[in-house]
Amino acid sequence: MQLAAIVVSLALTVAGLALLVRAVAQFVRYFRLGQAVRPGSRTARPYRRSVTLAREFLGHTRLNRWGIVGVAHWFVAIGFLTLPPTLVQAFGQLFRADWVLPVIGDWLPFEMYTEFIGVMTVLGIAVLMTIRLRSLPSRAGRKSRFAGSKSGQAYFVEYVILTIGLAIYVLRGLEGTVHHVEGYEAGYFASYPLVLVFKGLSAEVLLNLVYLTAMVKISVSFIWMITVSLNTNMGVAWHRFLAFPNIWFKRDAKGGTALGALLPMTSGGKPIDFTDPGDDDTFGVSQVEQFSWKGLLDFSTCTECGRCQSQCPAWNTGKPLSPKLLIMSLRDHAHAKAPYLLAGGGKTMEGEEKASEEQLAGVPAAALAEAERPLIGTLEENGVIDPDVLWSCTTCGACVEQCPVDIEHVDHIVDMRRYQVMIESAFPSEAGTMLKNLEKKGNPWGLAKKQRLEWLKELDFEVPVVGKEIEDLTEVEYLYWVGCAGALEDRAKKTTKAFAELLHIAGVKFAIMGGDEKCTGDSARRLGNEPLFQELGMENVMSLNAAFGEEMDDDGKVTEDSKKPKSAKKIVATCPHCLNTLGNEYPQLGGDYEVIHHTQLLQHLVDEGKLLPVTPVEGIITYHDPCYLGRHNKIYTPPREIIAAVPGVRNEEMHRHKERGFCCGAGGARMWMEERIGKRINNERVDEALSVNPDIVSTACPFCLVMLTDSVNGKKNDGKAKESIQVVDVAQLLLDSVSSMKAAAHP
């Protein structure tokens, strides 16, 4: 038995280590196929990144949102990283059954730690296996977060962990017996029952059990290593290694998610100058190798846990997009195509082959076939990603928010959209109307710019307009950025007027732009039309800088003498999409402003006593979190505090709220596209709202207001919603409660 154990264990060890070294080398070569990133964008602030990595791993900050799953996974992960000494000890036990590690082998704290973590690893993996079995796709269908995951690989990994954990536990019991533990000892507090069981065995049987169990532990460990080394696309196994660099190289060194601003378009790691692009510049992604190396790392890190899928509004309403399946498809395609690319293969912009026939002679046929697949294409075209998958995304960010290994799904989706829009002109036809309106009129509806100021006629007080009543914004505290929806869409205009009236009541000095401003470009950018976004953005930045009293040089840049600090350039917006673009994306274009949402300012005014909600608003209210206010900008509390300040209303949260809030369906330029597949996302959200039987559905975004109102009105017509239910912005709700102050404000 001892000889067999030694031979089998050492043979598997040599094979496993050799294949692991080869696999690591393959990963290095594979990741180098990706495009460069902007210098320093993934490596700046190394100490801060290391702290973030330690916090995310040790705190399991994402997984612990899922309750018992997070706790169970924490013990499994800690066991994997800290129990390798037991593997070393098992090697020693192959040659001498009573061998222990030098120095720490019989140290009581080490023994107790091994006992505790060993048992908790077994319990942890048992919990995770039970959860997986209870969530079988065959039972739950699309509702299972494991739908589409490679179950065989997952079960293999889980049973390996369970077997190794049990082997550690059994070896501890055998060690106690071999070392003649006569009574209960703290160092064997968990395995002592096994010590009692093994006590009656003969010495020969005991020794053979040690050799056998040590062989099982070592063999299973290296069979696992051999298997995963031969399958480098086995994310459920490799994530335990790749998650660490993926988190370390994340976009935000301080730990924030890859939400808010989109990354500027680059080619070869350098920003693209759309006024004079280079001949070799690549616009977006049309081949998997055009993703950055961080993108390729993202794909390989996916553990197929399905948390992104479970939160995705598209997947939950019967659409083909699953963020998990998207990443898995890109990963499998990239790994399958890698031999071709590593041999020098690839296509020019004209579709010509870069490598010679001699270079590609040794490439496997499967890799050559994979290289012929279009990245974006229908099933008939054998595409890797179906166009319907690409255009189903609302960029709500739920996938990015929930991913425990910091995969940046939205960035990758937008990169693929950019190529489709800018090079192929392949996108939903309705969105083309929106783009033309933005180009010609500066707003998605194609209305004349003079209509931006029409809402002012419905107010009974004057609102200063920059360039008319006031020369610049130095005379007021805030610029109120009304936005396209707030100025031009009838339902959103109610929010605009309510907010303006509340500012007037509170005595806040504010002004608006004169109508020459254009759409911030949010929808254009998320659709994939980066040049149009930059054109609109640059015009707005120049207008805003001039409005704030800054002077421009001949190149259109702010002169150093006139440049004002960010704190002196305050903007308030009622639209979260404008908030996000102005505050997070315009700094990329030279516009650095302090931008807040209207609910933040209103909450501040209520707290200061400048707005006093006194009139009761009776009924149950439920609040819908706009994605670009919540997940993208982490603003959850102000709207709820305003609602809490209004007497009479009782807030009932929907099942999905805050970080797990459900999209209205309008983000990612979906506001301008028809929803032809599955259930409408806004109907799904309103169904959830109606489940709490509210009198008022409230939100804080004009897009959400439109989408929710459309759905509620449709359900009223179908008799599925009571006629009295209202959909209002938080500002409208607050105005109803402070309306009794109007007489005092306007005697």
Q: How far is CA 267 from CA 34, 278, 291, 300, 415, in A?
A: 11, 9, 10, 22, 11
d(CA 405, CA 56): 9
At 105 the pLDDT is 86
Contact yes or no for 299/43 (Cβ under 8 A): no
Binned at pLDDT 50, 70 and 90, residue 742 comes out as low
Question: Closest by alpha carbon to 637, among 628, 649, 625, 646?
Answer: 625
The model's pLDDT over 586-630, given as tens digits with 9 standing for 90+, comes to 999 999 999 999 999 999 999 999 999 999 999 999 999 999 999
Predicted confidence (pLDDT) at residue 361 exceeds the cutoff of 90: no
d(CA 173, CA 170): 5
Q: How far is CA 210 from the centre of its chain?
A: 47
For the ranges 96-105, 163-172, 373-382, the lowest mean pLDDT is seen at: 96-105
Q: Are strands 649-651 and 619-623 parallel, antiparallel or unpaired?
A: parallel
Helices 490-506 & 598-607 angle (0-180, nearest 10): 30
Average pLDDT for residues 443-462, to the nearest whole number? 94
Average pLDDT for residues 674-702, to the nearest whole number? 96
What is the 8-class DSSP label of residue 35?
A: B
Question: Closest by alpha carbon to 466, among 455, 480, 454?
Answer: 480
Q: Which residue has the tokens 């259930």?
A: 679
d(CA 288, CA 57): 29
Contact yes or no for 416/285 (Cβ under 8 A): yes
Q: Where are the alpha helices (DSSP H) in 507-636?
A: 522-527, 530-547, 576-580, 598-607
Burial zone of 425 (CB within 10 Å; 0-12 exposed, 13-18 middle, 19+ buried): exposed
The model's pLDDT over 310-340, given as tens digits with 9 standing for 90+, comes to 999 999 999 999 999 999 999 999 999 999 9
d(CA 411, CA 261): 10
Contact yes or no for 520/512 (Cβ under 8 A): no
Reduced to 3 states, what is the DSSP secondary structure of residue 223? helix
| Residue percentage of the chain with pLDDT more than 70 | 98
Predicted confidence (pLDDT) at residue 164 exceeds the cutoff of 90: yes
Q: Which residue has the tokens 């039972």?
A: 139
Binned at pLDDT 50, 70 and 90, residue 504 comes out as very high
At 624 the pLDDT is 98
Reduced to 3 states, what is the DSSP secondary structure of residue 425? coil
The model's pLDDT over 6-18, given as tens digits with 9 standing for 90+, comes to 999 999 999 999 9
Predicted confidence (pLDDT) at residue 672 exceeds the cutoff of 70: yes
Q: How far is CA 289 from CA 35, 183, 234, 413, 563, in A?
A: 7, 63, 19, 15, 42
The model's pLDDT over 78-113, given as tens digits with 9 standing for 90+, comes to 999 999 999 999 999 999 999 999 989 889 999 999
Q: Across all residues in the chain, what is the average pLDDT?
A: 93
At 524 the pLDDT is 97
d(CA 707, CA 681): 9
Average pLDDT for residues 203-218, to the nearest whole number? 95
At 351 the pLDDT is 65
At 397 the pLDDT is 97
The model's pLDDT over 286-312, given as tens digits with 9 standing for 90+, comes to 999 999 999 999 999 999 999 999 999
- SS3 helix, strand, coil % of the chain, rounded to 5? 55, 5, 40
What does the longest C-alpha to C-alpha distance in the chain come to?
A: 102
Average pLDDT for residues 22-35, to the nearest whole number? 95
510 DSSP β-pair partners: 478
C-alpha atoms less than 13 angstroms from C-alpha of 410 in its C-beta half-sphere: 28
Predicted confidence (pLDDT) at residue 745 exceeds the cutoff of 70: no
Q: Are strands 270-271 and 478-481 parallel, antiparallel or unpaired?
A: unpaired
C-alpha atoms less than 13 angstroms from C-alpha of 337 in its C-beta half-sphere: 25
Average pLDDT for residues 578-583, to the nearest whole number? 98
Average pLDDT for residues 164-181, to the nearest whole number? 93
At 568 the pLDDT is 85
Predicted confidence (pLDDT) at residue 260 exceeds the cutoff of 70: yes
Predicted confidence (pLDDT) at residue 741 exceeds the cutoff of 60: no
At 356 the pLDDT is 79
At 567 the pLDDT is 86
At 528 the pLDDT is 96
Binned at pLDDT 50, 70 and 90, residue 746 comes out as very low
One-letter amino acid at 643 equals I
Predicted confidence (pLDDT) at residue 747 exceeds the cutoff of 60: no
Predicted confidence (pLDDT) at residue 743 exceeds the cutoff of 60: no
- Rg, the chain, Cα only: 30
The model's pLDDT over 101-153, given as tens digits with 9 standing for 90+, comes to 998 988 999 999 999 999 999 999 999 999 998 888 877 788 899 999 999 99
Q: Which residue has the tokens 């959400």?
A: 704
d(CA 244, CA 44): 16
Binned at pLDDT 50, 70 and 90, residue 538 comes out as very high
The model's pLDDT over 445-454, given as tens digits with 9 standing for 90+, comes to 999 999 999 9
